[in-house]
């Protein structure tokens, strides 16, 4: 099968199109299926893996790629309700940049009605991540507001649309006025250009100095100390990446006095059972919104599998609004 592998850690050019033997068909009782991949999403963890900063979990494929859409061609469907030949999208722990990829059946979801396979490939990693961190860990509840950093990214556009569709006021930081207008079109109350505006001042002005209840933070670093200044009492900061650095300085007295929470998580190494719970929540609460057309993945660029390096370069340059998708045909 055709794959893209990491020749050695480094620049996007280290992504090498090559071939490998077709995967072994998963046995009955393993809870895994083999998917003929039609499209696969590029995500920030793929970039980190290519640079040597995101180790592959034990037992996972060394081939990058954490989300795919395609057809179940073999394996153990069990009592999942799926059958061989069904079109699905799936969250995987690796192996997405390939013509075939094994996936736990509990991490597979049906392709929402009305969505293409390319659009479906942009769902799993972002929606699993946003639901797990904003709604489960961050406990965003009715009447509360959300600030999203990196609002024009795949994660960002997902968080903006989903939280807005569920009735929350959403604010998002982005790197240009064009992107600010783009996230506003997706449902954000305000897109904040962090290059020309202070997000702390903007959020406090927009919330009458009450602050937001939850912040989805993929920056960390010195952002955390600033975020405390625009976080409501009992507010929660949820870290999902450290693009601004892993070390932070903040006022711990304020943290205690105002009952603030700083938490975070990574999804890839979590067990299948944990991800299966997220999949069930998504099918219940989010898939109806997708089917109804109330939310939709934002696709920035589609590239052939062999051009994965170009996709990584785009992501690192911050060019995209939404998702970059690889196709196998």
Segments making up each domain of the chain, as ranges:
2-123+268-327, 127-264
Which SS3 state, helix, strand or coil, does residue 150 take? coil
82-96, 156-170, 315-329: the lowest-pLDDT one: 315-329
Q: List, for residues 154-188, the tens digit of each pLDDT value.
A: 999 999 999 999 999 999 999 999 999 999 999 99
pLDDT (0 to 100) of residue 176: 95
Yes or no: say if 148 and 190 are a contact pair by the CB < 8 Å rule: no
Cα distances (angstroms) measured from residue 245 to each of 52, 174, 206, 209, 288 = 16, 18, 28, 28, 37
Q: Which two tokens stand for residue 66?
A: 């954490």
pLDDT (0 to 100) of residue 27: 81
The CATH fold of domain 127-264: Rossmann fold (3.40.50)
To the question of pTM greater than 0.85 for the whole model, the response is: yes
The CATH fold of domain 2-123+268-327: Quinone Oxidoreductase; Chain A, domain 1 (3.90.180)
Q: List, for residues 57-77, the tens digit of each pLDDT value.
A: 988 999 999 999 999 999 999
CA distance 186 to 282: 20
Q: List, for residues 234-271, the tens digit of each pLDDT value.
A: 999 999 999 999 999 999 999 999 999 999 999 999 99
If 0-12 CB within 10 Å is exposed, 13-18 middle and 19+ buried, where does residue 167 land? exposed
Q: Which two tokens stand for residue 280?
A: 């069930």
Helices vs strands, H then E, count in the chain? 11, 15
Of the candidates 133, 137, 81, 134, the one whose C-alpha atom is nearest the C-alpha of residue 105 is 81
CA distance 329 to 326: 9
Residues forming a β-bridge with 132: none
């Amino acid at each position: 099968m055709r794959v893209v592998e990491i020749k050695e850690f480094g620049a996007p050019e280290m992504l090498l199109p090559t071939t490998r033997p077709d995967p072994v068909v998963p046995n009955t009782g393993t809870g895994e299926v083999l998917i003929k991949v039609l499209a696969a999403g590029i995500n920030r963890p793929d970039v980190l893996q290519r640079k040597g900063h995101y180790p592959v979990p034990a037992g996972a494929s060394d081939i990058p790629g954490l989300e795919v859409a395609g057809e179940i061609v073999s394996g153990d469907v069990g009592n999942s309700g799926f059958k061989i030949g069904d079109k699905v999208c799936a969250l995987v722990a690796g192996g997405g940049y390939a013509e075939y990829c094994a996936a736990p059946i509990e991490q597979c979801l049906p392709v929402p009605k009305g969505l293409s396979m390319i659009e479906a490939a942009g769902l799993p990693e972002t929606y699993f991540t946003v639901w797990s961190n904003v709604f489960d860990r961050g406990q965003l509840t009715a009447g509360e507001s959300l600030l999203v950093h990196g609002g024009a990214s795949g994660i960002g556009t997902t968080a903006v649309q989903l939280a807005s569709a569920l009735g929350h006021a959403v604010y998002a930081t982005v790197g240009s006025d064009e992107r600010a207008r783009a996230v506003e079109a997706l449902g954000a109350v305000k897109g904040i250009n962090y290059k020309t505006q202070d997000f702390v001042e903007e959020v406090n002005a927009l919330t009458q100095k009450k602050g937001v209840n939850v912040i989805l933070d993929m920056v960390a670093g010195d952002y955390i100390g600033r975020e405390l200044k625009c976080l409501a009492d009992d507010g929660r900061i949820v870290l999902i990446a450290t693009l601004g650095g892993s070390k932070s300085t903040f006022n711990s007295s304020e943290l205690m006095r105002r009952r603030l929470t700083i938490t975070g998580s990574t999804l890839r190494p979590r067990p299948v059972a944990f991800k299966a719970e997220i999949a069930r929540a998504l099918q219940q609460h989010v898939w109806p919104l997708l089917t109804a057309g109330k939310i939709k993945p934002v696709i920035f660029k589609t590239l052939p599998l062999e051009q994965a390096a170009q996709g990584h370069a785009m992501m690192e340059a911050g060019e995209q609004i939404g998702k970059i998708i690889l196709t196998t045909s």
